[in-house]
Amino acid sequence: MKNANTQLRQIILLVEMPRMIFPFARRILADVTRDGGFPPLLLEPVDFAALYQREAQRRAAAAQQPEASA
């Protein structure tokens, strides 16, 4: 990460790391609720890349909006 530019760091931290960690967190949550005597709480899969792209597009549109009104 030391030699990565800002955009690459954001992608690693906001897309790749959650993508790797999410299945384990999902499994732990399901196991904990099941072990507590409840039906397992199953989270739907999340597409972190799509979320990142959507947020980047939203920010780009918000950044251009003040320029358009000027």
pLDDT for the residue numbered 22: 96
Q: HSE, CB side, 13 Å, CA atoms: give it for residue 9.
A: 6
In angstroms, the CA 37 to CA 30 distance is 11
In angstroms, the CA 35 to CA 37 distance is 5
pLDDT for the residue numbered 68: 55
* Element counts in the chain: helices (H) and strands (E): 3, 0
Written as tens digits, the pLDDT of the chain (70 aa) is 778 888 899 999 999 999 999 999 999 999 999 999 999 999 999 999 999 999 999 999 998 886 655 5
pLDDT for the residue numbered 69: 54
The correct CATH number of 6-69 out of 3.40.50.300, 1.10.510.10, 3.30.70.330, 3.10.420.10 is 3.10.420.10
pLDDT for the residue numbered 70: 52
In angstroms, the CA 33 to CA 47 distance is 24
Predicted TM-score (pTM) of the model is 0.73
Domain residue spans of the chain: 6-69
Take residue 38 and report the two structure tokens written for it.
């409840």
